[in-house]
Amino acid sequence: MTARYWAYAIPAVVLTAGSVAGTPAAGADNKRLNDGVVANVYTMQHQAGCTTDIKINPKLRLAAQWHTNDVLNNRALNGDIGSDGSTVADRARNAGYAGAVAETTAINPALAISGIELINQWYYRPDYHAIMSDCANVDIGVWSANSLDRSVVVAVYGKGDGDPPVQSPQRPFGQPGAGAPG
């Protein structure tokens, strides 16, 4: 190997190592996936004969966000119970939702999860299928997050909430002009 070879090889290795070391944890705008979950639940409900329309509820989205982040960062979790022992009802109540709630959780051991993989996980589980096609669930909040080797999606379903919007530390849910964080 010549000196000329090494003159090009060493900077290439340094640049590659620097780009890998400087790569942040996988983070993406999962709005499209989250909205797809809502659309799929709407479709399932209407195929089941529901005449109501499911609506995105910011309080339930906040409860879903809390559990998604908890499951993503705590590898021992693989379902509906949080690392602090909280249930979906606890999280929804803490987010300000007063109605009855249910939850579906998906964990994929990969960087991403597609809408098809997600619905296949939930559709063929009888308990999750029953939750998604329940006409009494008129509210929904969906959140998803990814790391390099784990993707988590949580949907929280509600049967109705009469309480006013609650303020979140990250963004003012329910207030005019409230938008995506960032």
Per-residue confidence at 7, pLDDT binned at 50, 70, 90?
low
Range of the domain at 39: 26-158
Full-model pTM: 0.74
Could you tell me if residue 169 is inside a domain?
Answer: no
The sign of the dihedral angle between the CA atoms of 114, 118, 121, 124 is negative
Could you tell me if residue 168 is inside a domain?
Answer: no
Could you tell me if residue 110 is inside a domain?
Answer: yes
Q: How many domains does the chain have?
A: 1
DSSP letters spanning 43-72: HHHHHTT--S--EE-HHHHHHHHHHHHHHH
Could you tell me if residue 43 is inside a domain?
Answer: yes
Between 26 and 116, name the one with better pLDDT.
Answer: 116
CATH of the domain at 96: 3.40.33.10
Could you tell me if residue 67 is inside a domain?
Answer: yes
Between 14 and 147, name the one with better pLDDT.
Answer: 147
